[in-house]
Amino acid sequence: MSDKLEIKVCVGSSCHVKGGSKTLRTLELLIEKEHLDSKVELKADLCLGNCLEAPNVVLDGQVHGGVTPEKTEEFFNLHILPRVQS
């Protein structure tokens, strides 16, 4: 069992079309920039069943919709950083 924060980015077709792969790449870069490799586990996933709100990101099992590439940094600052800095 890992105690890392698990982040899954949907790259299924609906999410991919709305930028999911770019969201994944942006998260990769932000994680690298903040040196969080040891604290988070970033994965790509396939359809999470929430296509209407694509692109979707799952944080420790909770689905967050509408994480477009443009909103990724804000999402990271709001939802990811506070969880790994405490």
Q: How far apart, in whole angstroms, are the C-alpha atoms of residue 7 and residue 30?
A: 13
Binder of ligand FES out of 4, 22, 39, 50 (CB under 6 A): 50
- Considering only 7-15, 27-35, 36-44, 78-86, which stretch makes contact with ligand FES by CB under 6 A? 7-15
Binder of ligand FES out of 4, 6, 14, 69 (CB under 6 A): 14
Residues within the interface to ligand FES (CB under 6 A)? 10, 12-15, 47-51, 54, 56
